[in-house]
Amino acid sequence: MPNLKISQLEKVTNMDPDSFVLVVQNGKNYRMSIKEAIAAYVDLSPYYTKEETEEALNSVDTRIDTLEGLATFRIIPVSYLDLRRLRDNGDLVPGQQYRITDFATIVNSQFESLELPFDIVVTALSSTRLSSSASALHRDIPDDTLKDFDLSSWKLKYSLDNDTDKFNWASEDGKGVIYGMVDEFNNSAPFDFYSIYPEGKPLFPYPFAGSSYNNTIKEVRGADGQMLLPIVYFTEDVNNIEVSKNSDGEFVAYNVADLFATSSDSPSPDPSPYGTVYYIGEI
């Protein structure tokens, strides 16, 4: 249970559950209502008697055991496991962005991964669902292997679940799965091609990542629809990457770029007189 200090900047003057206090934790400020502060186990004893606090507590319907459960407007840093817990408990805040601070692509024993460290940012659509689209940010670490790359321009497709039925490279000990990646050079693949060695042949830092542009590795699926890590061979011209059949012997290839396209059923908004019916939300 966190012991959170109320900032001296904003003194509590009444017990109206909707009035606001400023709470300080780990040097960061959180502005919240009294109701929220109580739900987050903020220690109000400098300002209220035990009885007053207990009385207010009775009016609180739900408890939140971390401040990260409150609706703030910054990107909230979380560990992968904490995010899983928030999702599984229905504690995600719609519209809130979460930054997974310990992400790395971990694969099962059939494959190899450099497990390059970078953070992933995801957006909650509801209390139990995250968007499948994600972005990347540099992790604040010494010797950042990716320091010369523009991670903020990357586009990712990310699944919080380590679904081994869906992705043949996933590991149950993983931190979610990247199943689509486009970097700043417009190279794209249906996996984290900076970390994963397909068939022991790295794509990073060469030939991808700055040495060439617009390379695409197509998505590969098995007969049962499972996404398969493709086997990649380099031809003599390293800019011409050939994707072969996988060990199952059969595959259906899709264009990875389609993973990032907006839905064809829902075109982008067009305020022209000839736009299609398109509204956000429900009436």
Partner 1 sequence: MEKHHFVHSLWTAPMQSDKRKLEVTALVYALSVAYLKRLGCSINLHTDSLGKKLLDGIGYDHIYLSAEEIPNTISPKIFAYPKSMALEKEPVGTVHIDGDVFIKTEECLDRIFNHDCECVVQSFETLLPWLQSAKTFMIPFLAENLLSTGEKLEIRDYDCNTGVIGFFNDELKNLYISNYQELAKKLSKYEYLYFVQNQYGKFDCPDFVLEQQMLSYLTRNRKVRCVLPVDSIPYMEERNELAKHIGYTHLLGPTKYDEDVIEKVKGRLEEFGLLEKVYKNIK
Whichever of 181 and 232 has its CB closer to partner 1, that residue is 181
Determine which residue in the list 7, 66, 108, 133 makes contact with partner 1, applying CB under 8 A.
Answer: 133
Backbone angles phi, psi at 236, to 5 degrees: -60, -35
Residue 278 touches partner 1, criterion: CB under 8 A: yes
Diameter of the chain by CA atoms?
78
CA torsion 188-167-136-152 (nearest 10°) is 20
How far from the centroid of its chain's Cα atoms is residue 259's Cα?
16
166 binds partner 1 (CB under 8 A): no
59 binds partner 1, rule: CB under 8 A: no
Residue owning tokens 């817990």: 85
CB 154 within 8 A of CB 183: yes
Calpha distance 252→112 (Å, rounded):
23
Q: Pattern of binders to partner 1 over 24-43, x per CB under 8 A?
A: -------x------------
Shortest gap between Cβ of 154 and partner 1 (angstroms)?
Answer: 12
Q: Which stretch binds partner 1 (CB under 8 A): 46-54, 201-209, 228-236, 272-280?
A: 272-280
Question: Which of residues 231 and 257 has its CB atom nearest to partner 1 in the complex?
Answer: 257
* 80-86, Cβ contacts within 8 angstroms, sequence gap of 24 or more: 80/175, 80/176, 83/122, 83/160, 84/160
Q: Which one of 49, 131, 240, 247 is in contact with partner 1 (CB under 8 A)?
A: 131
> Closest CB to partner 1 among 89 and 266?
266
The residues in 68-127 that bind partner 1, with binding defined as CB under 8 A, are 71-73, 94-95, 97, 121, 123-127
Residue 20 makes contact with partner 1 by CB under 8 A: yes
Q: Single out the residue of 3, 9, 14, 18 in contact with partner 1 (rule: CB under 8 A).
A: 18
Q: How far is the CB of 131 from partner 1 (least distance, A)?
A: 5
Distance CA 83, CA 92 (A): 8
In this structure, how many other beta carbons lie within 10 angstroms of the beta carbon of residue 184? Answer: 15
Q: How many residues belong to the site for partner 1 (CB under 8 A)?
A: 45
Task: Name the residue nearer to partner 1 (CB basis): 72 or 226.
Answer: 72
Assign residue 214 a region: left if phi > 0, alpha if psi is -120 to 50, beta otherwise?
left
DSSP state of 47: T
Q: Are 37 and 47 in contact (CB under 8 A)?
A: no
To the nearest whole angstrom, how small is the minimum distance from the Cβ of residue 232 to partner 1?
Answer: 27
Which C-beta is closer to partner 1: that of 78 or that of 241?
A: 78
**The tokens of 1 are what?**
């249970």
Stretch near partner 1 under the rule CB under 8 A, chosen from 169-177, 232-240, 243-251, 258-266:
258-266
For residue 53, CA distances in Å to 10, 38, 57, 60, 242 come to 18, 8, 6, 11, 67
Residues that bind partner 1 (CB under 8 A): 16, 18-20, 31, 71-73, 94-95, 97, 121, 123-127, 129, 131-135, 260-263, 265-275, 277-283
